[in-house]
Amino acid sequence: FKIKQLVDQAFTKNNLTKAEITALLKTELKDLAYLIEKADQKRAAICGNQVHLRAIIEFSSYCKQNCYYCGLRKDNKEIKRYQLKKEEIVKTAQMASELGYQTVVLQSGEDEYPAQTIAEIIREIKAKTKMAITLSLGERDFAAYKLWREAGADRYLLKHEIADRSLYQKYHPKMSYENRIESLEYLKLIGYQIGSGVIIGLPGQTPEILAEDLLLCQDLELDMIGSGPFIPHQATPLKASKQGTVAMTLKFTALSRLLLPLAHIPATTALGTIDVEGRQKALQAGANVVMPNVTDGKYREQYQIYPDKICVNEEAGDCRQCIGGIISSLGREVSQTKGHSLRKD
């Protein structure tokens, strides 16, 4: 394969075979600049200069799952867990709205936070602010997805993490790949804008598997697609594994833009953690979204999905300012709209 030719093909018809995507994921450093440049050009054509901010509230670090890579896994007894009350969550959301955010993301581990309480939180945030609401709560029963949609939630993030069935099973004991995909399909069916994505660099992951991830994301007609590098956490079974790379994360980000041109694509905190310029690089490789933390500073250290997470010693206002600076330094602008899906289904 000629890499430049493939990039041009992706740029003009956003439609490639698995072998072609695989070849692009194997792009060597000398050709990487061209892939990134074309993804940036596509981003500019579709999104212009506007960057959407999504304020994340990490409201509970309890999790009943045992994902092999994650510091919040149930078997990690070394961390102190916390769970915010309904009033605290609503107050944090109001503060995010006052900071100018147009979207709030309610995120937690797979906690058993009562579905009815979540519905009340959604209704209160909708009554008190004009923000769009994204949920990122893992897998729950389908009735809960419906309840929350009816309460007014707009979007749902549920990363499929890795498209290879046997690796999915290995890294997610007692979870089901089928249920995860069916959840995404059901969420879309009942009117959510849906987001999925992957961890880059899990042991055993190959470019072929990442190509399948991208094809799956196309099949799911995602509104949002995210990818962050794997960062080994010492209290997990993958503690001795190698970290994901900046280069592969940028390739995946660029290909996400070329293959799903209308998707919202975040420059992830994980990429900003392994490279001080990581988010800037992603914003110049196809990304058009940043997701700053608005959780009260005293909880941040306890939400350690991976080690050395950035922004642990900051407060919401600090991160809002920092991100504003990053965006203007790139000649981009913070969007004043909600940044709903660009897809017209």
- Site residues for ligand FES per CB under 6 A: 292, 311, 314, 318-319, 322-323
CA distance 214 to 224: 12
User: Which of 140/332 has CB closer to ligand SF4?
Assistant: 140
Which amino acid belongs to residue 49? N
Q: Is 137 in the site for ligand 5AD (CB under 6 A)?
A: no
The entry of ligand SF4, ligand FES, ligand 5AD, none near residue 151 (CB within 5 to 8 angstroms by kind) is none
Stretch that binds ligand SF4, among 61-69, 99-107, 238-246, 291-299 (CB under 6 A): 61-69
Whole-number minimum distance, CB 159 to ligand 5AD, in Å? 4
User: Which of 110/124 has CB closer to ligand SF4?
Assistant: 110
Which amino acid belongs to residue 62? Y
Question: Which among 113, 118, 109 has a CA at the least distance from the CA of 63?
Answer: 109
- Options 6, 25, 67, 263; binder of ligand SF4; rule CB under 6 A: 67
User: Which of 70/238 has CB closer to ligand SF4?
Assistant: 70
The three-state secondary structure class of 292 is: coil
Instruction: Indicate the helix (H) or strand (E) that contains 207.
Output: helix 207-219
Name residues contacting ligand SF4, limited to 126-185 (CB under 6 A).
Answer: 138
CA distance 208 to 283: 25
The three-state secondary structure class of 157 is: strand
Cα 265 to the chain's mean position, in Å? Answer: 8
The entry of ligand SF4, ligand FES, ligand 5AD, none near residue 255 (CB within 5 to 8 angstroms by kind) is none
Instruction: Report the half-sphere exposure of 165 (CA within 13 A, side-chain side).
Output: 2
Stretch that binds ligand 5AD, among 179-187, 204-212, 229-237, 337-345 (CB under 6 A): 229-237
Whole-number minimum distance, CB 228 to ligand FES, in Å? 15
The entry of ligand SF4, ligand FES, ligand 5AD, none near residue 292 (CB within 5 to 8 angstroms by kind) is ligand FES
Which amino acid belongs to residue 124? E
Helix-strand-coil percent breakdown of the chain, rounded to 5? 45, 15, 40
- Options 9, 41, 49, 65; binder of ligand SF4; rule CB under 6 A: 65
Q: Which residue has 């956490």 as its token pair?
A: 233
Question: End-to-end CA distance of the chain, in Å?
Answer: 34
The entry of ligand SF4, ligand 5AD, ligand FES, none near residue 270 (CB within 5 to 8 angstroms by kind) is ligand 5AD
Q: Is 311 in the site for ligand 5AD (CB under 6 A)?
A: no
Q: For the window 82-111, what string marks contact with ligand SF4 as x by the rule CB under 6 A?
A: ---------------------------xx-
CA distance 257 to 285: 8
Q: How many helices (H) and strands (E) does the chain have?
A: 14, 10
Name residues contacting ligand 5AD, limited to 168-207 (CB under 6 A).
Answer: 199
CA distance 15 to 9: 8
CA distance 21 to 15: 9
Site for ligand 5AD, rule CB under 6 A: 69-70, 159, 161, 199, 228, 230-231, 233, 270, 305-306
Which residues contact ligand SF4 by CB under 6 A?
63, 65, 67, 70, 72-73, 109-110, 138
